[in-house]
Structure 1
Amino acid sequence: MAAQQSQSIQTLLEAEKEASKVVQQARQYRVQRLKDARSEAAKEIEEYKKAKEQEFKAFEASHAGNTQTAQLAVDKETEVKRREISESYKQNKDQVVQKLLDRVVLVKPELHRNLKKAA
């Protein structure tokens, strides 16, 4: 009976060792699956990031032409306004100088209003 008990104990110990091996393998498998899942998620994130960057670059390129077109329109409008101002200056400069000279040269001397009251 003692031999049978020791054999049973031996069988239980072997079963326990086998069970711990199975548990260890399961833990290693779980850790490996987690690593794989993380690496797959990182790849998916990277692919999504690249796709969004390409989409943004396409959007930027399609709207960059609009910016250049708007800039050209503003430049043309500015040039037209500058020419109008130059023409106006050329046409009116003689008249403005004459008005200024008339005001400076034609002085009408008169008494100050406070002096008029005192006198």
Structure 2
Amino acid sequence: MAAQQSQSIQTLLEAEKEAAKVVQQARQYRVQRLKDARSEAAKEIEEYKKSKEQEFKAFEQSHAGNTQTVQAQIDKETEGKQEEIREAYDTHKDQVVKKLLDRVVLVKPELHRNLKKVE
């Protein structure tokens, strides 16, 4: 009976060792799966990042031409307005100078409106 008990105990110990091995293998498998999942996620993130960067560059290039044409158009409009202002200046400068000189040179002496006659 002692031999049978020691054999049963030995069988239980072997089963326990086998179970520990299975558990260890399961843990290693889980750890490996987690590592694989992380690396796969990192790859997907990099691919997504690259695709978004390409989309942004394409968007930037498509709108870069628009900003250049808009800038050229604004420059043309600004030049046109400056030319209008120059023409208005040249047209009215003589009249303005004449009005200023008339105001300065032709002085009409008058009493100030707040001055009251003292009796």
Q: What's the % identity of the aligned pairs? A: 85
The gaps in structure 1 that reach 5 residues or longer are none
Amino acid aligned to 1:94: D
Which residue is equivalent to 1:48?
Answer: 48
Amino acid aligned to 1:39: S
Which residue is equivalent to 1:31?
Answer: 31
* 10-19 or 103-112: bigger deviation: 103-112
Report 1:1-119 matches (<5 A): 1-115=1-115, 117-118=117-118
Q: CA deviation at 1:112?
A: 2.3
Give the whole-Å Cα distance in 1 for the aligned partners of 2:10 and 2:22: 18
* Higher normalized helix content (fraction of residues): 1
TM-score w.r.t. structure 1 length?
0.93
Amino acid aligned to 1:60: E
Q: CA deviation at 1:116?
A: 5.3
Deviations 1:62-118 (A, max 9, x none): 111111111111111000111111111111111111111111111111222344544
Task: Please list every run of at least 4 consecutive aligned residues from structure 1 whose deviation after the TM superposition is greater than 4 angstroms.
Answer: none
Give the whole-Å Cα distance in 2 for the aligned partners of 1:106 and 1:58: 70
Deviations 1:4-51 (A, max 9, x none): 111111111111111101110110000000110011011101101111
Aligned to 1:60, what secondary structure does the other structure show?
helix
What is the CA RMSD across the aligned residues, in angstroms? 1.3
